[in-house]
Structure 1
Amino acid sequence: VGVLLYGVDDEADADSETLIGQYAHELAFSCRTLDARARALTDPLTLFRERTEAKLRELVHEANNPLSIVQNYLHILELTVSDRAQAVDQVRAMGAELRRVSDLIARMRRATEEGVPAEDAEAIRKRHELFDLSALLARLTEVHRGLAGERGAELLLIVPPGPLMVQSDADQVAQIVTNVLKNALESGRGHQVRVEGIGAAFRDGREGVYVVVSDTGPGIPREVIARLGQPQPSTKGGDHMGVGLQVVQRLVAALGGSIDVRPGTEQGTSFGIFLPLTAELA
């Protein structure tokens, strides 16, 4: 935005074609200058975004190859241990987790492809299936027994004797529990971690279930709990990105649930995740 001043000696010249032409020339020059400045600012960002998306598409594509190989080996392993029920269950649990990873990669691929629309309501609805939450918790607990052994942690599963049926996105529920459970196991050494499934729960007039993951580790600092929904640096170092709890809160909210984080009676932390019996669809 600016002002163009033009001085003339004769009042009659103010309406001349020459003046109008010069005004148009100056206006066009200013527009070209502004456009060039805008391009100089946006082109590097556009180029960076395109390169980043191309690299992400390449990584997503390549990630499927080792996953397919591992899936094949798991199938062979399942045939090898077919006479050992517990081993078969463990192999199938690992296979289910790998399929969940494949689904996440497929969603990443869709997100990087131009012109590919996001999932419609029907696709989201198909993922909201009726499943046994107790069985899902048992599978995830079994998958994490190796990590529990590495940390010297005692991992306990407490669920009702019968099925705990919920209609929701089983993959997202698994992702929620995995993030919280992994965080609890990595919070210390030689501690206890409990995974509980509780039915017949009510919150805000809605019936649902509770998943409670509690540990006797050192606990989570209050300032971290206060910023639960915000990205923040991880205190665990290594390859931890500090986004696990943020992902948990986002996924729980997307399923129409809620989450409570409480310090333990003496030490540790307790995560209580409420999920409605039927997840809300946006």
Structure 2
Amino acid sequence: MADVLERQKRRPAAPPRDPRETLEPLLDELMRTLRFERAVVLLYDDERAALAGSFGTGVSDAIARELLIPLALVDDPIVASLRGGVPQLIRDATLDERISAPVRETLTKAKLGPIVAAPLRSTTERPAGQDGKRGAAPGWEHRGEWAGVVLLSRASGVTQSDVDALVPFARQAEEAITLQRDVDLLRDTSEAFAIEKEWLWWMVNGVGDAVLVTDSNNDMVLQNRRAELLFRASDEDSAGKRRAVWMNNFLFTAALSTWNLERTVATTGREVTLVDPIEGDELIYEVITTPATNYRVGMRGTVSVLKNVTDIRHIGEELARGRERLQSAEEEIRIERDRLDLVLRNVPNPIIVVDNDNHILSMNPAADRLFKPASATSRASHTALANDARFTSFLAGLRLDPALSKRGEIALTDPRTDDRLEMEVSATEIRDSRGAVIAIVSVMQDIGRLRELERRRLEQVLFDSEKLAATGRLAASIAHEINNPLEAVQNALYLLQKEFGGDAAKRPYLDIAARETQRMSRILRQMLGFYRQQEAMGATDLNALVEEAGGLVAKRLRERSVQIANQLDPGLPRIRASADQLKQVLLNLLLNAADSMPRGGTITVATQAGAGAETELFGRDAVQIQVRDTGDGIPDELLGQIFEPFFSTKPGKGTGLGLWVSQGIVQSHGGTMRVRSRVGRGTTFMITLPVQGPPSDARAA
């Protein structure tokens, strides 16, 4: 506020009254009394530190304003009259060399030759040399606004008597100037006071808080509009509002009285509870009180600023409740996190959480064993780093898949045992509320062990199926061999029934024999039907079947240093077949090939559309599978026996039924199975299958 008032004081004062209004009546009377013909009034210009022409009588104002006499010209008689306060007689101003040439020229133009220079000065002056204006000569400085010189002239000339006659005029002019200056000063002061009062009013009422002044008896002296809403009511207001205002006055006065008893000198802040006169709600105010003294009347009082903190208090209470809820939620989250950590620590599968840069954020102990081994050996550390690099590269490839959940396989190494681990990774993206990916959770599962269990199960299934097939074929063979003589017995019984049909004693025995032979025939047909029972056939992808079978035995083959190389025809058509039976055939061939390579080698599995050399038999509507190995090969003398039951080139190992059963499966599909082998070079099995399935199935379709 002090800055505002100071700026107000520095504002330019209201423009003073025109000096012509004050001086012209005196000047006209003087000229009429002393018979002067011309006159020019020069006023002091504070900015230029010079006497400047203002107006003239008998001289045009334009010529009068051309006059400019610097106060620094101390020898100039016009300047001397102002400084000395005594009129000066100048016989001929147009020739007086004490006057500067430009001024003499202007005086000549104004026809001011003989002149009397009479000073115009107010009665308020200041000591010499205090202003320091540029160009001001020492010895006199003027504070008033109207100070100057009047130049009076007549054509007949001027005398000393004219100078003496002008002394009373100078005093009258000084009194008039002083009076006018006091009037202007009073007017400016009143205007400044009114302006300051207006700004003070806006300042107090522009504040959003209630501000009021109370005297020593706690009676309210002044209050702004905000305070009036709380503490003032009129007769036109409702009874409820008047009651609320009365309550507010009572509560605030009581609180103020209590605070005054504490005799606090400094500004203090306290709280008081009031009532909203409009809504009737409870309002909480923080009251800042400051002792005040009106030195003009010697009264003491208190300035109080009431800041409405109701919402702040309510917000504080809500924040406190929110903090309690947050603490409860944090406790629940901590319990849930501990429970989750307990679960993750006990999950046997590795679980890893990475950020968008594939940096590991967290992992469970199972993952620690792969990526952060407890052993500090260089070998274990190197293995862990290699695992991390493989996993990072694997995740980078998975990110190209737009699906939310992704699945793939990765080969890692156990840092403790150096065992190769085949891991199936299920990666799921975690997104924030805006849908941006913030992390990826990967769960690993060791599918190598599962595949080993599956391989062993399949081996057992193969073994059981081989035994079952052998039993079935044996039963079929026995049934076939018994069925022929049984047909002869049935024919003989038929002839006997014809011949002895009339013999009542023999007839029952012949009927019994006929019925039993028929029952035996039905049993034999059931046995043959059991052997010929086929698996349900459907559209089968041979390429996928080859990859699946290779995956099942991959670990066992790696242990024997055997690799599988697939050469699959991408244009291979689907065939009608039993996928399980063909998988059994492929597994038999792969395991036999591995057994033939004890020192390791390569198994090549190739598929192609067409029947190759079997085209004449199958036509073009067929597919072919070749399984080649780089093993020891099969001697020529044994090639003709490998498809016989119970024949094996591995004494003491296996049942000798694998190839026999495999050939039977291929033949049941309407295909052929051939072998080509060279000792020391390897063996190739070629399977040709019709696309439409076995002939009987194709006809049914």
- Superposition TM-score tier, normalisation by shorter sequence: 0.5 to 0.7
- Give the 3-state SS of the residue equivalent to 1:195 in structure 2: strand
- Partner Cα distance (1:241, 1:197) in 2: 28
1:87-236 equivalences under 5 Å are 87-88=423-424, 98=457, 118=529, 124=534, 127-161=536-570, 164-188=573-597, 189-201=599-611, 203=615, 204-206=617-619, 207-236=621-650
For the aligned residues, what is the CA RMSD?
Answer: 4.2
**Which whole-Å CA distance do the structure 1 matches of 2:540 and 2:592 have between them?**
25
CA deviation string 1:235-275 (max 9, x = no partner): 32343122222222222111111122112597001111101
Aligned residue in 2 for 1:267 = 681
TM-score where L is the length of structure 1: 0.58
Quick check: 1:151–1:186 contact (8 Å CA) kept in 2? Answer: no
TM-superposed CA distance for 1:212, in Å, is 0.4
Q: How far apart are 1:195 and its partner, in Å?
A: 1.0
Partner SS, residue 559 of structure 2? helix
Indicate the residue corresponding to 1:85 in structure 2: 408
Does the 8 Å CA contact 1:196/1:211 hold for their aligned counterparts?
yes
The alpha-carbon distance between structure 1 residues 249 and 237, as it changes in their structure 2 partners (threshold 3 A), is: same
Unaligned runs of 5+ in 2: 1-346, 353-404, 410-422, 425-446, 476-522, 697-701
Match for residue 72 of structure 1? none
Superposed CA deviations along residues 164-220 of structure 1, whole A, max 9, x for unmatched, are 411111111111111111111110122211111112335214321111000111101
How far, CA to CA, are the matches of 2:644 and 2:588 in structure 1? Answer: 15
Q: 1:263 to 1:235 in 2, by over 3 A?
A: closer
2:663 alignment counterpart: 249
**Which AA in structure 1 matches 2:688?**
F
Give per-residue Cα distances to partners, 1:215-238, cap 9 Å, x unaligned: 111101212211233125423234
Whole-Å Cα distance in 2 between the matches of residues 260 and 181 of structure 1? 15
Asked whether the equivalents of residues 255 and 280 of structure 1 are also in contact (C-alpha less than 8 Å), the reply is yes
What is the one-letter code of the residue matched to 1:141? Answer: G
1:92/1:166 Cα in 2 relative to 1: closer, same or farther (>3 Å)? Answer: farther
Scaled by the length of structure 2, the TM-score of the pair is 0.25
CA gap 1:236/1:209 in 2 versus in 1, 3 angstroms: same
Name the count of aligned residue pairs: 203
Q: Give the gaps of 5 or more residues in structure 1.
A: 1-75
Task: Tell me, yes or no, if the aligned pair for 1:158 and 1:197 is still in contact at 8 Å.
Answer: yes
1:183 & 1:101 partners in 2: Cα distance?
Answer: 15
Cα drift, residue 102 of structure 1? 6.5
Residue 201 of structure 1 aligns with an amino acid whose one-letter code is: A
Higher strand fraction: Structure 1 or Structure 2? Answer: 2
In 2, Cα distance between equivalents of 1:179 and 1:235: 14
Provide the rounded CA distance (Å) in 1 between the counterparts of 2:656 and 2:602: 22
Residue type at the aligned position of 1:209: V
Match of residue 120 from structure 2: none
Measure, in 1, the Cα distance between the counterparts of 2:350 and 2:624.
Answer: 36
